[in-house]
């Protein structure tokens, strides 16, 4: 690799989970610098998402877009990442201004990158600027060097691919050898053309003897990275990871980690069995409870779904004997992968590849297109990773276009070919066109929010109908909020999940409030009040996980045996106690769960302020499409007519049901919309917001954020005097 710039540095060792340094790269000038952080920075912003929020709040404005030079791409673990003695410590977040939402987005990702970055002496990496040529940043903690090099042009075979390119880069960097002490992040060709480009996190898996990958999928972080001209970042450190955080109380860390591992190993096998099946185990549950998105979320189950239940992947693709943690020490080990999968479609047909996945979400993105073919799911997974596309946004955008075609809003002239549910060939073609920015793929790659405007304009030009009327219809089934495509849960029958999607600050991604399971499957939050409280509590604790560098699954997907005896079993507080113990032992604090929730609320509010500044923070931005709260069209209603009749009867207190299905459908929609509005009022009040979803000054003041900049923002919304 041809060096553009290099410098030596002294890797700072970690103390109590932190190095108190951020590595800064301005690719416009190829300037690398080290930002020393004052002690209060970590007190207030914790790490991970908190660090990204603070940098974005300070260094961008309301006019900053994803491709503005001042936009910052932040990669940060947190004080608790790196330690293999505690499960799930390989997570980090990538945060930036999103090409889809025009406001803050972050996506969490597994692998070894953030741990090695921390071992190299940095709590975070922040990249801004736009480079004229594609570059690679190399952070070598063993040599103590920081280097910017020209991205190698490996040629056509690997040019399009994040995985192929990343592997080739890793080999070149290592002189052909494979090494667990090297990790990298990279993007693919799709990130150049689509707004939902992902970042792949690559690491060498000694047991599988191959490079594996995990993805920061949501919101277009890879698009930002590729637009900056950064093709990859490589990190290397061969420092010992166990104890590398230099915790204040090493015995406490050890104890917390072994307590959590014990619960995971005892309980997972009696509950979801994620360590056996991976997240595809959810497909069967989702199908059973009408939660699996089928044909653009019209239906929640399908008679062909059996073909893609978890046992199919386990028997046909997964290597059963190998554990599948996405980082050392995770005994939940849910990150399943298929070996030697022969691709049957697309530009790489015939190649044998390792597929890291599928996760449930990827399978859901495929059923969303009406496809129930396990081989296609594997290939969709691999191609999206290779091209650098978010499987969720790809599946939802494609299925939106399919439905537009089938409802007559798009013609074959618009699309170039027929877009039908269940058509594997058409779906493959659409992925390729999206990745390479060709044909209808250009519209698909812009995401649902922008695609619906394009479709409305085309249809208006053809029919003469007013654009606004067409948009009103399209918005019923355009599955996006704030510009982000919905993740893979049908929320029609779960008011709590409707709120979880609508209030999620980044847009409808379930990582802020995944309430579908506890609401609709376990029925643990049956009352309106319980749902509203859950919509305050869960986003706070989930924010904390994204700030400290930990995976949430060992907490949320494995229930502690003692949880059933607590007031709120869904919160799984006995397990959370191990997390708090781990935190206090690492950083030397004496925090309670309440303290942790308060720390998270500060970050949650900061994210809300960025949304307000960027025009995505009011009640209007929390609106969800009609299909997210009930059957949008009569065909959906009729597919479960009996269920909906019963639902209406329960709410009509003995009053007669309307005779006609259309009237019943209208009544149902009216009741659902009223319930959602009531939920908004209650949750905003609970959070200390106005009815228009704007935080009250006193709410913000409690968290030490009410400075002049915030006051003037609130004044612009009429919540404070100017």
Q: In Å, how far are 53, 61, 507, 631 from 611, measured between CA atoms? A: 11, 11, 11, 29
Nearer to ligand SF4, 20 or 511 (CB): 511
Q: Which is nearer to ligand SF4, 77 or 325 (CB)?
A: 325
Q: Is 325 in the site for ligand SF4 (CB under 6 A)?
A: yes
Binding of ligand SF4 by 247 (CB under 6 A): no
- 143 in Cβ contact with 235 (< 8 Å): no
> Using CB under 6 A, which of the segments 450-458, 470-478, 502-510, 551-559 binds ligand SF4?
551-559
Q: How far is the CB of 146 from ligand SF4 (least distance, A)?
A: 28
CA–CA distance, 262 with 529 (Å, rounded to integer): 34
Report, in Å, the least distance between residue 282 CB and ligand SF4. Answer: 13
Is residue 333 part of the contact set for ligand SF4 (CB under 6 A)?
Answer: yes
**Interface with ligand SF4 in residues 626-685 (CB under 6 A):** none
Taking the least distance from each CB to ligand SF4, the nearer of 103 and 114 is 114
What DSSP character marks residue 518?
Answer: I
CB of 363 to ligand SF4, least distance (A): 16
The verdict on 553 binding ligand SF4 (CB under 6 A) reads: yes
Q: Which of residues 77-116 bind ligand SF4 (CB under 6 A)?
A: 88, 90, 110
Determine the Cα–Cα distance for residues 676 and 679; give it in Å rounded to an integer: 5
| Closer of 330 and 365 to ligand SF4 (Cβ) | 330
Q: Which of residues 23, 80, 198, 332 is near ligand SF4 by CB under 6 A?
A: 332
Q: Which two tokens stand for residue 122?
A: 């940095």
Residue 417's CB is within 10 A of a number of other CB atoms, namely: 15
Decide: is 334 part of the binding site for ligand SF4 (CB under 6 A).
yes
For residue 491, the minimal CB distance to ligand SF4 (Å) is 23
Of the CA atoms within 13 Å of residue 407, those in its CB half-sphere come to: 21
Total residue count of the chain as it appears in this document: 722
Strand-strand pairing, 182-186 and 199-205: antiparallel
Contact residues for 643 (Cβ-Cβ < 8 A; gap 6+): none
User: Is the Cβ of residue 324 or residue 636 nearer to ligand SF4 in the bound state?
Assistant: 324
CA atoms of 369 and 393, how far apart (whole Å): 12
Neighbours of 216 (CB within 10 A): 29
Residue 551 interacts with ligand SF4 (CB under 6 A): yes or no: yes
Q: Under the criterion CB under 6 A, does residue 548 sit at the interface with ligand SF4? A: no
Closest to ligand SF4 by CB, 325 vs 445, is 325
For position 127 contacting ligand SF4 by CB under 6 A, the verdict is no
CB of 253 to ligand SF4, least distance (A): 17
In angstroms, rounded to a whole number, what is the distance separating the alpha carbons of residues 392 and 485? 7
Give the chain's radius of gyration (CA, Å): 24
Chosen residue from 124, 192, 294, 335 binding ligand SF4 by CB under 6 A? 335
CB of 358 to ligand SF4, least distance (A): 13
- What is the CB-side half-sphere exposure of residue 251 using CA atoms within 13 A? 0
125, 137, 330, 431: which one contacts ligand SF4 (CB under 6 A)? 330
Closest to ligand SF4 by CB, 334 or 341: 334
Per CB under 6 A, does 326 bind ligand SF4? yes
Closest listed residue to residue 243, CA positions, set 84, 13, 113: 84
Supply φ then ψ for residue 622, to 5 degrees.
Answer: -90, 0
402: buried, middle or exposed (CB in 10 Å: 19+, 13-18, 0-12)?
buried
> Please, which residue, 95 or 110, has the CB nearer to ligand SF4?
110
242 class by beta-carbon count within 10 Å (0-12 exposed, 13-18 middle, 19+ buried): middle
Q: Which residues does 412 contact at the CB level (< 8 Å), separation at least 6?
A: 418
327 near ligand SF4 (CB under 6 A): yes
Q: Which stretch binds ligand SF4 (CB under 6 A): 148-156, 234-242, 319-327, 516-524?
A: 319-327
Interface with ligand SF4 by CB under 6 A: which residues? 88, 90, 110, 325-327, 330, 332-335, 551, 553-554
């Amino acid at each position: 690799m041809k060096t553009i710039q290099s410098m030596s540095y002294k890797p700072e060792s970690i103390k109590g989970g932190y190095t108190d340094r951020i590595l800064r790269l301005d690719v416009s000038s190829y300037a690398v610098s080290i930002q020393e952080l004052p002690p209060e920075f970590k007190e207030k912003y914790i790490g991970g998402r908190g660090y990204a929020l603070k940098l974005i709040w300070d260094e961008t404005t309301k006019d900053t877009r994803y491709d503005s030079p001042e936009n910052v791409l932040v990669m940060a673990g947190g004080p608790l990442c790196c330690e293999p003695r505690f499960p799930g410590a390989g997570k980090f977040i990538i945060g930036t201004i999103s090409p889809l939402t025009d406001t803050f987005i972050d996506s969490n990702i597994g692998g070894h990158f953030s741990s090695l970055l921390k071992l190299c002496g940095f709590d975070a990496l922040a990249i801004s600027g736009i480079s004229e040529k594609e570059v690679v940043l190399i952070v070598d903690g063993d040599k103590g060097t920081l280097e910017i090099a020209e991205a190698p042009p490996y040629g056509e075979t690997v040019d399009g691919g994040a995985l192929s390119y990343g592997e080739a880069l890793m080999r070149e960097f290592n002189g052909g050898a494979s090494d667990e002490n090297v990790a990298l992040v990279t993007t693919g060709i799709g990130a150049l053309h689509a707004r939902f480009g992902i970042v792949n996190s690559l690491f060498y898996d000694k047991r599988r003897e191959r490079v594996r990958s995990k993805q920061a999928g949501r919101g277009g972080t890879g698009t930002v990275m590729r637009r900056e001209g950064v093709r990859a970042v490589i990190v290397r450190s061969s420092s010992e990871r166990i104890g590398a955080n230099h915790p204040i109380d090493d015995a406490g860390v050890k104890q917390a980690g072994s307590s959590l591992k014990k619960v995971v190993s005892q309980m997972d096998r009696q509950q979801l069995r994620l360590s056996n099946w991976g997240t595809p185990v959810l497909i069967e549950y989702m199908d059973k409870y009408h939660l699996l998105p089928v044909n653009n979320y019209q239906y929640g189950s399908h008679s062909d779904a059996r073909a893609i239940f978890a046992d199919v992947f386990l028997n046909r693709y997964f290597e059963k004997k190998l554990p599948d943690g996405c980082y050392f020490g995770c005994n939940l080990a849910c990150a399943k992968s298929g070996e030697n999968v022969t691709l049957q479609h697309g530009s790489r047909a015939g190649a044998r590849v390792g597929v890291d996945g599928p996760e449930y979400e990827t399978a859901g993105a495929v059923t969303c297109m009406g496809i129930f073919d396990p081989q296609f799911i594997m290939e969709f997974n691999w191609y999206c990773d290779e091209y650098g596309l978010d499987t969720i946004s790809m599946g939802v955008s494609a299925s939106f276009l399919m439905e537009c075609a089938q409802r007559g809003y798009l013609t074959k002239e618009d699309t170039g070919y027929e877009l039908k549910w269940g058509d594997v060939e058409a779906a493959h073609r659409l992925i390729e066109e999206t990745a390479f920015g060709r044909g209808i793929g250009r519209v698909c790659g812009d995401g649902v929010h922008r695609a619906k405007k394009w479709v409305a304009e085309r249809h208006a030009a053809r029919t003469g109908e007013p654009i606004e009327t067409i948009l009103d219809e399209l918005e019923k089934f355009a599955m996006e909020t704030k510009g982000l495509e919905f993740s893979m849960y049908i929320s029609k029958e779960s008011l709590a999940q409707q709120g979880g999607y609508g209030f999620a600050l980044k847009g409808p991604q379930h990582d802020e409030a995944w309430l579908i399971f506890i609401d609709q499957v376990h029925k643990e939050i049956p009352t309106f009040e319980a749902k509203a409280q859950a919509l305050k509590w869960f986003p706070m604790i989930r924010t904390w996980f994204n700030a400290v560098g930990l995976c949430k699954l060992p907490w949320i997907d494995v229930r502690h045996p003692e949880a059933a005896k607590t007031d709120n079993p869904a919160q799984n507080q006995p397990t959370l106690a191990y997390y708090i113990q781990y935190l206090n032992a690492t950083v030397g604090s004496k925090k309670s769960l309440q303290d942790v929730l308060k720390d998270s609320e500060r970050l949650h509010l900061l994210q809300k302020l960025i949304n307000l500044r960027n025009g995505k923070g009011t009640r209007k931005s929390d609106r969800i499409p009609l299909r997210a709260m009930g059957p949008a069209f009569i065909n959906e209603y009729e597919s479960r007519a009996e269920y909906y009749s019963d639902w209406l009867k329960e709410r009509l207190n003995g009053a007669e049901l309307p005779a006609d299905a259309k009237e019943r459908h209208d009544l149902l929609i009216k009741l659902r919309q009223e319930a959602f509005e009531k939920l908004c009022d209650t949750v905003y009040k609970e959070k200390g917001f106005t009815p228009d979803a704007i935080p009250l000054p006193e709410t913000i003041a409690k968290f030490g954020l009410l400075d002049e900049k915030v006051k003037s923002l609130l004044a612009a919304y009429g919540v404070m005097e100017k």
